[in-house]
């Protein structure tokens, strides 16, 4: 048997049956994620989409996805692109909510384990989503995308 190369001490011929499916799964996931990112970027502003029906849809999706703790007041903070990497001041500007309410909402989401607050330069704290926070954001995006698709289909017909 001719060994072409070694990857981590394993001859390449022996690793190919493992490497090929992993690479294919990576490429599929990357393609799917990029498509979803483009679709999320086309969502309307929160004030346009967050009516009573959409809010109930997202809250239902949260409870079905093991996220019963967040409340309706947290929805504006989790509206795409979400709070990851932003400061409370930036979130207040983006959402149109007063700074004290944003701080309270972030503190509640932190207590629930959905985000961490990291000290940044200048004394402002930046939000960092936890794994649970990313899952909550994913569920939020899914519900909002479904609602936006339904509204587009109604307008088209």
* pLDDT, tens only, 63-94: 998 899 999 999 999 999 999 999 999 999 99
What are the tens digits of pLDDT across the range 40-67? 888 888 878 889 999 999 999 999 988 9
Determine the structural domain holding residue 67 and report its residue range.
46-156
pLDDT value at residue 5: 65
pTM, two decimals, is: 0.77
Q: Are residues 54 and 95 in the same domain?
A: yes
Q: Are residues 36 and 50 in the same domain?
A: no
pLDDT value at residue 150: 92
Which two three-digit tokens encode residue 9? 């001490």
* pLDDT at 4 exceeding the cut of 80: no
Q: Are residues 30 and 84 in the same domain?
A: no
Q: Decide: 105 and 74 in contact? Cβ < 8 Å.
A: yes
- Grade residue 6 by pLDDT with cuts at 50, 70 and 90: low
CA–CA dist 2, 46 (Å, integer): 60
- Least Cα distance to 133 among 81, 91, 84 occurs for 84
- Does residue 1 lie in a domain region? no
Select the highest-mean-pLDDT range: 7-16, 40-49, 100-109, 147-156: 100-109
What are the tens digits of pLDDT across the range 99-146? 999 999 999 999 999 999 987 667 788 999 999 999 999 999 999 999
* Cβ neighbours around 153 below 10 Å, total: 9
- Does residue 15 lie in a domain region? yes
CA–CA dist 75, 82 (Å, integer): 10
Beta bridge partner(s), residue 33? none
Cis geometry, peptide bond prior to residue 81 (ω within 30 degrees of 0)? yes
pLDDT value at residue 141: 94
Q: Are residues 35 and 66 in the same domain?
A: no
Q: How many domains does the chain have?
A: 2
Q: Are residues 33 and 50 in the same domain?
A: no
Q: Are residues 53 and 35 in the same domain?
A: no
Q: Are residues 30 and 50 in the same domain?
A: no
Q: Are residues 61 and 134 in the same domain?
A: yes
- Cα 23–chain centre separation: 24
**Strand (E) or helix (H) holding 74:** none
CA–CA dist 12, 10 (Å, integer): 6
Beta bridge partner(s), residue 119? 125
Q: Are residues 63 and 116 in the same domain?
A: yes
């Amino acid at each position: 048997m001719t060994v072409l190369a070694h990857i981590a001490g394993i001859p390449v011929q022996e690793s190919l049956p493992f490497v090929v499916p992993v690479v294919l799964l990576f490429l599929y996931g990357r393609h799917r994620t990029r498509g979803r990112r483009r679709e999320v970027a086309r969502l309307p502003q929160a004030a346009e989409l967050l009516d009573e029906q959409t809010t109930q849809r997202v809250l239902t999706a949260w409870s079905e996805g093991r996220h019963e703790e967040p409340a309706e007041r947290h929805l504006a903070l989790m509206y795409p692109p979400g709070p990851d990497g932003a400061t409370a001041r930036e979130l207040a500007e983006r959402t149109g909510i007063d700074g004290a309410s944003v701080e309270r909402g972030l503190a509640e989401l932190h207590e629930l384990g959905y985000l961490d607050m990291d000290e940044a330069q200048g004394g402002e704290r930046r939000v960092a989503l936890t794994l649970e926070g990313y899952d909550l954001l994913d569920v939020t995006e899914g519900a909002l995308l479904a609602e936006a698709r339904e509204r587009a289909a109604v307008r088209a017909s």
